[in-house]
Amino acid sequence: MPKQKLDYSFDNNFRAKGLWPLAGLDEAGCGPLAGPVCAAAVILNPEKPPEGVNDSKTMTARARQAAFALICETALAVSFAFVTAAEIDSLDIRKAALLAMSRAAAALPIKPAYALVDGRFLPDLPCPGAPIVKGDATSLSIASASVVAKVMRDALMRRLSEEHPQYGFAENAGYGVARHIAAIREFGPTPHHRLSFAPLRERRD
């Protein structure tokens, strides 16, 4: 866990330049063998920045859930979007992640004037923006988007686990842990598996 909680000071530098409304964008789920990639876009209320929010990867599931509820309660706008496993296979994971962020930004009920995007690349956006390397550890808006994306994707993977219990999606979120790999070898892939990812790629070739 980071020693200090994020606050709105980094984001406020952009708002002070007149770049408002300001959206943060991030994605979750680039690494798993199964399930979609999910992206979220968040426009925080600078008068009510959510407390206790960090890069979602550093937070426990319980802390993420609490932060998610607070973000949804206090933010001015929240949206999320998925890109399916089939789309990932047809595009590649980097393009799919950018597409998910583009969809999330387009779904915001408030059009942002500027967007802060986690990573090195900008997706197609309805506004100007800036890529921020390790933005989920720097910008409260991006970190909030990372929490929303992670919580929404995990919820979907739990639902998929009910349909395909042998793969353990509720516990592994689609990552290639030993139980998951063994299930793929025994039962084969589901429609939610990314066939372009090893070890699934070998089965397709």
Q: What is the pLDDT of residues 114-143, one digit of tens each?
A: 999 999 999 999 999 999 999 999 999 999
Task: Return the pLDDT at 53.
Answer: 95
Dump pLDDT digits (tens) for 54-90.
999 999 999 999 999 999 999 999 999 999 999 999 9
pLDDT at 1 exceeding the cut of 60: no
Task: Return the pLDDT at 91.
Answer: 97
44 to 70, 183, 196: CA distances (angstroms): 11, 41, 36
Task: Return the pLDDT at 3.
Answer: 43
Query: Where do we find the tokens 């802060």?
Result: 116
Task: Return the pLDDT at 4.
Answer: 57
To the question of pTM greater than 0.85 for the whole model, the response is yes
Dump pLDDT digits (tens) for 143-177.
999 999 999 999 999 999 999 999 999 999 999 99
Confidence of residue 199 (pLDDT cuts 50, 70, 90): confident
Report the mean per-residue pLDDT for the chain: 95
Q: Classify domain 9-204 by CATH architecture.
A: 2-Layer Sandwich (3.30)
Neighbours of 60 (CB within 10 A): 9
Task: Return the pLDDT at 160.
Answer: 98
Task: Return the pLDDT at 203.
Answer: 63
Question: What is the percentage of the chain residues whose pLDDT exceeds 70?
Answer: 96
Mean pLDDT of 43-57: 94
